[in-house]
Amino acid sequence: MADQSDLTTLMRLARQGNEDAYRQVLGRVSLWLRSVVRREMVAAGRSAADCEDVVQETLLAMHLKRDTWDETQPLEPWLRAIARHKLVDHLRRRGYRDHVSIDDQAECLAAATDPDADARTDSRRLLESLPDRQRRIVEEISIEGRRAAEVAVRFGMSEGAVRVALHRALKALAALYRKGQS
């Protein structure tokens, strides 16, 4: 049996339909991303206040582009390439508007441990601009933690339709990030 703590092995399991493996992959990647993104943003002379937004945008890209990972290769170089692409994108989009100060750094460190910080994230704001049905489906599944089958019953839809709507919503979110409405 292969070592299941290895990220590459976990992602292979996830690709075979193992939800828990996928949850673990995303959790561990988000931890790693958080430290890398903050370090890189500070190194680029930018405020790290919105590092969580970059983490979320990168997780979303990684999810939507998961077919581009060659399963015969280790996962990490692929992850690093996606993170770099999204970080460069983000820094370019934000231009030179934000300036780094000690206060910003303090705010970011505080934000990282603030459980109520979600109200200020880009994803929260972008979610508001999705069609009502899509937004509510995402909220039911992500924030309320309901399963797709339960959401289907609540909304009087088939489970398949819920999943299609969820997938469309995630793609729309990625497109909104790209347009720089954040």
Partner 1 sequence: MRTASLIEALVADRAARGRPLARGLVGALVAGAAVSLALFLVEFGVRADIAEAFVTWRFEVKLAMVFLALALAYSLCVSLSRPVMSGRAAWRLAPLAALAVAAVAIELAMLPAAAWVARLVGSNAVVCLTTIPILAIAPLAAVLWFLRRGAPASPALAGAAAGLLAATAGASLYAFHCFDDSPLFVVTWYVLAALPVIALGAILGRRLLRW
Only one of the segments 1-9, 36-44, 100-108, 142-150 lies at the binding site for partner 1 (rule: CB under 8 A); that segment is 142-150
Rounded distance, CA 8 to CA 14, Å? 10
Structure tokens at 88: 């460069």
Q: Is residue 176 at the binding interface for partner 1, with CB under 8 A as the rule?
A: no
The residue (of 76 and 103) whose beta carbon lies closer to partner 1 is 76
The answer to the question of residue 56 lying near partner 1 (CB under 8 A) is yes
Give the binding range for partner 1 (CB under 8 A) out of 1-9, 41-49, 71-79, 93-101.
71-79
Residue 78: which residues within 8 A CB-CB, separation 6 or more? 68, 69, 70
Of 2, 4, 6, 27, the residue at the interface with partner 1 (CB under 8 A) is 27
Among 36, 166, 172, 176, binds partner 1 (CB under 8 A): 166
Residues that bind partner 1 (CB under 8 A): 11, 14-17, 19, 22-23, 25-27, 30, 52, 55-56, 59-61, 63, 65-71, 73, 77-78, 81-82, 85, 115, 117-118, 121, 123-124, 127, 138, 141-143, 145, 147-148, 163, 166-167, 170, 174, 178
